[in-house]
Structure 1
Amino acid sequence: MKPTIRPATFTDLDRLMEIFEAARRFMESTGNPNQWINGYPQRELIAEEINQEHCYVCQDEEGKTIGTFCFVPSPDPNYARIEDGVWLNDAPYHVIHRLASDGSEKGIFKACIDWCALQDTNLRADTHADNKVMQHLLEKNGFIRCGIIYVSNGTPRIAYQRKG
């Protein structure tokens, strides 16, 4: 399977919310019940990401949307301060946020990361300490654990960077 990546549109919004719900269930089932709580990511946030042209969809060979992620150019204000480590460099970067799939296909993470690496070789991401699946996928795909950052609600996340 070779998925395709395209910018999300407002007509994708209902499907994206279904994918985020599937991802929340998966995270709960794998020991990560606290990362995406209280309906996060909210529909309004994703609509704003679409409006800013930061949200992308991953489609299977039949054109069904099976994954999504946000790809945001630097600077990310949450990444301005890092504890217990340092970033690999201070060069401009893109952040990968809210990467999720509906679980129907394997390889969505790699397809999304490979697409992102074609756009910018300096990539950053973060994840919850309980999200062992995402930590494994990031490290398996060349990301280096750099330290701890805090997201807008004040909770810590493990910060990663990959430079090409």
Structure 2
Amino acid sequence: MQQEAPSNRHVRHATRADYDSILKIYAHARDVMKRNGNPSQWGDIYPLASDVLHDIELNRSMLLVDDDSQNGVERLLGVFAICKGSDPTYASIDGAWLDDDPYVAFHRVASSGLARHTAHDMIDWAVRHYRNVRADTHENNLAMQHIFESSGFARCGIITLPPREIGIRERIAFQRHI
């Protein structure tokens, strides 16, 4: 069973003032993925700066933050996007979703590296608030696969992303519905 997040951790919507910090978090995540044998999921460019701005403008960019009691400032621990409504990339799956109920898609998950268990805390928040969550990750992203599975997600099959500039397009699809 997962430990509860420390009480000073919470999730909030990102704002334009967070933009530069979010870009740094994504750069950190790309470096970590490369060091852990997953250089092609995001390559050197994903998510694009325009994706980050678009997520902020659509109010779907979320931040896991805590209050650093030693310095009295908020620390950005992680970023993710919550996309409401049907995700076109999830319309076709080699496999089967758990159900056809309304869901949110959990995308662009990244940790700043400042604290442990940030991905679990972000996933837990999404499941508590939306109850039916779908997500996907690259076959080489073993860490994220483990996090989804240890958070109670089921592997549902393989989805194919639309054409883009980097990497293979197939992703392992996950879902959790409570």
Structure 1-normalised TM-score? 0.96
Mapped partners of 1:87, 1:94: distance in 2: 13
User: 1:28: which partner in 2?
Assistant: 34
From 52, 55, 72, the equivalent of 2:58 is 52
CA offsets, 1:98-134, max 9 Å, x none? 1101111011112111211122111100000000000
From 142, 150, 155, the equivalent of 1:132 is 142
Question: RMSD in angstroms over aligned alpha carbons?
Answer: 1.1
Structure 2-normalised TM-score? 0.89
The one-letter code sitting in structure 2 at the alignment partner of 1:144 is A
Moved over 3 A (4+): none
Mapped partners of 1:46, 1:152: distance in 2: 18
Mapped partners of 1:38, 1:101: distance in 2: 16
2:124/2:151 contact within 8 Å kept: no
CA offsets, 1:16-58, max 9 Å, x none? 0000000001101111010002411011111001111110111
The one-letter code sitting in structure 1 at the alignment partner of 2:92 is R
2:102/2:132 contact within 8 Å kept: yes
Q: CA deviation at 1:61?
A: 2.1
**Highest CA radius of gyration, 1 or 2?**
2
Q: Report how many residues are paired.
A: 163
Q: How does 1:12-161 map to 2 (within 5 A)?
A: 12-62=18-68, 63-83=74-94, 85-153=95-163, 155-161=169-175
Mapped partners of 2:148, 2:62: distance in 1: 19
Q: Which runs of 5+ in 1 are unaligned?
A: none
The one-letter code sitting in structure 2 at the alignment partner of 1:125 is A
